Amino acid sequence: MMKIATPDLVTNSYFPALAAEELGLFREQGVDAHVELLPSLGAVTALREGAADFVAGNSHSLLLGFPAFAGAKLLVTLSQGTPWLLVMRSDLAGRRGDVAVVKGRRIGAAPGPDRAFLGLLAEAEIDPARDGVTIAAVPGSLDPGASFGVMAADALERGVVDGFWANALGSETAVRRGVGKVVVDVRRGDGPPGAGHYTFAALSTTDKVIAREPERVAGAVRAIVDAQRALKKDPARATEVGRRRFPPASAEIIAAVVERDLPFYDPSISQASIDGMNRFAQAVGMLSAPVAYDDVVATRFRNLWS
């Protein structure tokens, strides 16, 4: 069996990978694959050490295990654009798009996504030390089996944090409970220009896996494309997947979140996406220079995107 490691299981961002497994689309492509949660940086570490065959995660996070992307490649986009939203307590003042609402506040952000949040703050000319912004993972979110978005919504409800930076499923959970409001959704144009293109959710693997099992890798890419098409045709199928793998409350709202995110379920990896990620990774010190498209993307599989 091929293992697909993911840093967050209960999320809309990497959902096409989970859907490809639970809807039997990997099997249809001759691939026996299982998506497994490895929180924080565990997913990329497992890929680097050969304990996982793929990672369903964010493109820039691959740099944490593969400097300058050496030895690894992005295969297909799971979801376009920077996938996290800034949610603040519902009783706090602050207009939509106003990043400054974080000043003097406690913000929950997971390792990896926190780099994108720091990039957002820098572009908004907010200095965490100067402006009193405390950024940390929420309690319990790094425990085995924990999902950050769900834990962040719980932490907001308990008053442990004043806001959080997490996926849309976590955001929707907080909004539906009445404890949070979306202040910044960078994929939909909130915040500094370009923030929506810091990174994107992708399936990635190593050069070694590609060389060893190119047909299985191709099958995995086809299955992701099939999953995105299946969800676009019938978003309600997301509930079927969620009920198998999510906590009950999350399972019942995933279809609504997926339906709203359908425009982002596009498998192609564009030059613009790689350029945006390169700029972001340089800005936060993860890259010293841009990396060429062909050195980041496994272009031999790009014909499978369409």
Q: Which two tokens stand for residue 275?
A: 């350029």
**Would you state the structure tokens that stand for residue 274, as one six-digit string?**
């790689």
- Amino acid code (one letter) for 26: F
Q: Are 93 and 235 in contact (CB under 8 A)?
A: no
Distance of CA 89 to the CA centre of its chain: 22
38 three-state secondary structure: coil
Q: Which two tokens stand for residue 158?
A: 């308990």
Q: How far apart are CA 6 and CA 40, in angstroms?
A: 9
Q: Which of 187, 190, 206 is nearest to 266 (CA)?
A: 187
Q: Closest Cα to residue 206, out of 59, 73, 56? A: 73
The predicted pLDDT at position 3 comes to: 98
What is the predicted pLDDT for the residue at 52?
Answer: 98
Domain 2-81+199-305: give its CATH code. 3.40.190.10
Reduced to 3 states (helix: H, G, I; strand: E, B; else coil), residue 188 is helix
pTM of the model: 0.94
pLDDT at 139: 86
pLDDT the model gives residue 206: 98
The larger pLDDT score, comparing residue 173 to residue 147, is at 173
Alpha helix positions (H), the chain:
15-22, 25-28, 42-49, 113-123, 128-131, 148-158, 168-177, 207-212, 214-233, 237-245, 248-261, 271-283, 293-296
Lowest-confidence pick of 70-74, 165-169, 214-218: 165-169
pLDDT one-digit tens code per residue, 220-258? 999 999 999 999 999 999 999 999 999 999 999 999 999
Provide the 3-class DSSP secondary structure of residue 111: coil
pLDDT at position 217: 98
Fold exhibited by the domain 85-194: D-Maltodextrin-Binding Protein; domain 2 (3.40.190)
Distance CA 161, CA 85 (A): 15
- Per-residue confidence (pLDDT) for residue 276, from 0 to 100: 97
Which of the four pLDDT bands, split at 50, 70 and 90, describes residue 93?
confident
Write down the pLDDT at residue 148. Answer: 84
Instruction: Give me the residue spans of the domains in the chain.
Output: 2-81+199-305, 85-194
Predicted confidence (pLDDT) at residue 1 exceeds the cutoff of 80: yes
